[in-house]
Structure 1
């Protein structure tokens, strides 16, 4: 049992945010394998409220990028204080080139009428992230500030809400993984 847990721990430790990708597209089968893993996630009442939309069409990826960057510009124009200082310090801007440069986009939607849809969908995203890492693929969990334009572009049913866009490909991002808190800082037994 410990060996299995250590393998999962190693995947989690290795996994980092990737915003730059090599131009070579991974096999489509790898994308489907990762989604097969994600769909095994637990969900409230076993509703399995997730929907994965995979985009590899260059025009459609470009359109998603255009819509997201438009919403990012609105977001940045109204952002101040600590958040804006952090974004500036990290070099973030409204431009999201990874949305058109990554070979694939996996858009994860949640069915809002299902019980515990939000928690269940994000558990599936966690499974997906580790599966992609195991396959040697990188991604970032990009959450558009306003998902509505992308939902409309893809003609998503109104009861489905876009949760995240995962640009996926072979990593070409040299940035190291951000540090993590110590175990004793995040665990309490029998109380907070």
Structure 2
């Protein structure tokens, strides 16, 4: 089962090699993502590919500003987890990676949120199959990025996928056992 192999292999990548993958590979992954099912076949997703260094730096700048606000308000278990994993407001992968794929959802479409995230799932597996790495980075406040890219008001940024050849040595986080996440005929 090829999909299972890809899913088992796929992990979050935050460090990338400087080599630039061919743009055709990125487009091939998006071509797979656009085949995802959607409510009423509305296909409510929009993929914005950014390869301009100035724009990537600007996106990083506005995201890090929002991350600073987020970190200043976050407490408890989430903050302890972020600290334990070494996360900080700085997101160098947003400007150091060859490509950013920003995934937007059209909020006026039926089931837009679920449909858009199914497409993201397709995209993640397609990138993995092509040997490309990414992380689903969701800014704490997507509004400044939406404004920067002049997104129409009915489109909401869901995630930013930095895309490139992986250079992240960290192993994949352990997954729960199948019997821990499945039950039949009731919870």
TM-score range, shorter chain: over 0.9
Show the counterpart of 1:188.
Answer: 183
2:89 aligns with one of 75, 90, 94: 94
Distance 2:83 2:169 in 1: 19
1:107 to 99, 102, 108: 102
Query: Would you say how many aligned residue pairs link Structure 1 and Structure 2?
Result: 187
Other-structure match for 1:145? 140
* CA–CA distance in structure 2, aligned partners of residues 94 and 104 of structure 1: 20
Q: Does 1:43 align with 2:35?
A: no
Partner deviation per Cα, 1:42-73 (whole Å, 9 max, x = no partner): 00000000000000000000000000000000
* Residue among 20, 25, 38 paired with 1:25: 20
Q: Distance in 1 between matches of 2:51 and 2:20?
A: 9
Aligned to 2:8: 13
TM-score normalised by length of structure 1: 0.97
CA distance, structure 1, for counterparts of residue 167 and residue 178 of structure 2 = 30
Does residue 149 of structure 2 align to residue 154 of structure 1?
A: yes
Question: Which aligned runs of 4 or more in structure 1 are off by greater than 6 angstroms?
Answer: none
Name the CA distance, whole Å, in 1 between partners of 2:3 and 2:33.
15
Partner Cα separation in structure 2 for residue 10 and residue 48 of structure 1:
27
Structure 2 Cα separation of the partners of residues 188 and 97 of structure 1: 41
Q: Distance in 2 between matches of 1:8 and 1:99?
A: 28
CA distance in 2 between partners of 1:60 and 1:150 (Å): 10
User: Given the alignment of the two structures, is residue 170 of structure 1 paired with residue 170 of structure 2, yes or no?
Assistant: no
> Pairwise CA RMSD of aligned residues?
0.3
Partner of 1:3: none
> TM-score with structure 2 length normalisation?
1.00
CA distance in 2, matches of 1:69, 1:162: 16
> How far apart, in 2, do the equivalents of 1:101 and 1:179 lie?
27
Consecutive unaligned residues of structure 2, counting only runs of 5 or more, are none
State the shift of 1:17 in Å.
Answer: 0.1
String of CA shifts for 1:143-184, please: whole Å, max 9, x gaps. Answer: 000000000000000000000000000000000000000000
